[in-house]
Amino acid sequence: MKNLVFFLVIIFVIACKNSAVIINNEDSGKNVIPNPLKKDVIIAPFSKTINNNLATSEELREIVAYLASDELKGRDIGSEGIEKAAVYIENIFKQNNIETYFKTYRDSFNLKGVDAYNIVGFIEGNDENLKNEVIIIGAHYDHIGSAKQVGDDTIANGANDNAAGTSGVLEIAEYFATTKNNKRSIMIALFSAEEKGLKGSEHLAKKLKAENIDLYIMLNFEMIGVPFKVRSYDAFLTGYDLSNMSAKINEYTNSNLTGFSEVSKKYDLFKHSDNYAFYQEFKLPCQTFSSCDLSNYDYYHHVDDEADKLDYSHMASLINKIIPAIETMCNTPTKEIKMTNE
């Protein structure tokens, strides 16, 4: 009996080591990813390797809860809060063995005397030829800091805008870092200074254009935290008519995942998120994926854009639906997504 108990304990310990990374060592000198549920402890979502549910509502909720917490004070550029957000994202990259593209994860720039930085990771493709083609998956992780006071609250937490999109991109990054099922290379870009006029994405797009990278597409994630109530699709793509990306996403997922938003066209949302800088530089399919066109959420740039306002089951569903489309984009023999004028 003792031998049996000992054997079961050993199996349990090995299983735990394979399914999670637990960090709780103040003397290790390592950065610890904050976890709002239990301080200085993180259980990494490596269960993706054995779980068909690629992203979970719990993982997304945990990321958003930290990024949109009062501790980060709205993640304005130049603030202590955005520095904490950057370290958090960098640690997730490190934890998942995502490579740097530049010398470090930080793509630094200066905006009117304020130091700012995009956080950029790289997952190299596994095909000798196709790995030279790059897909950029992005979202902005900054926000506006403060907004009009409501009661005692002045912190614009930016849960839907855009901790939600950031959490989705991090889940996608973890998936591909784990599976390595990408013939083309994937650049993961979390942008700063989006709220200052798309300055972070503008800086990176110009830098990559000067390097003459072989960009295939850029897919940006913005405000995915709430669902539409009466739509025939789950999310819309900005710049819908400019390329066949929406049709290809639906083909690759055998669903009606993406569609056209009249609101997006009316307010020209294509030009108001980080996809636009890449479109301007590369004139390629560079579009934003979103489930909020401001018709279904009342807290845009509002102090009540809090983590408890989001629908995490909806977010997990969106990410789990879009991953197979991205996987197909990474692995088709030719570039099937094209501008409509080609």
Residues 6+ apart with CB under 8 A from 134: 184, 185, 186, 187, 213, 214, 215, 216
Task: Give the pLDDT of residue 173.
Answer: 97
pLDDT over 70 for what percent of the chain?
A: 84
Backbone angles phi, psi at 283, to 5 degrees: 50, 45
For the cut 80, the answer to whether the pLDDT of residue 162 exceeds it is yes
Q: Which two tokens stand for residue 157?
A: 């937490």
Domain locations in the chain as residue ranges: 22-331
- Using DSSP's 3-state secondary structure scheme, residue 115 falls into strand
pLDDT in tens, 58-67: 999 999 999 9
Q: Which pLDDT tens digit goes with each residue over 53-102?
A: 489 999 999 999 999 999 999 999 999 999 999 999 999 999 999 999 99
Among 34, 52, 37, 36, which residue's Cα sits nearest to residue 95?
Answer: 34
pLDDT on residue 46: 37
Q: What is the pLDDT of residue 342?
A: 66
Going from the C-alpha of 127 to that of each of 18, 124, 184, 331, the distances in angstroms are: 28, 9, 7, 9
Residue 204 has pLDDT above 90, yes or no: yes
As a whole number, mean pLDDT of residues 283-291 equals: 98
Task: List the one residue out of 317, 36, 44, 75 whose CA is nearest residue 200.
Answer: 75
pTM over 0.75: yes
Chain length of the chain: 342
Average pLDDT, the chain: 88
Digit-coded pLDDT (tens) for 7-40: 343 433 334 434 333 223 333 333 444 543 333 3
Residue 243 has pLDDT above 80, yes or no: yes
Instruction: Give the C-alpha separation, 87 to 85, whole Å.
Output: 6
Cα gap 92→167, rounded to integer Å: 11
CATH of domain 22-331: 3.40.630.10
User: What percent of the chain has a predicted confidence (pLDDT) above 90?
Assistant: 83
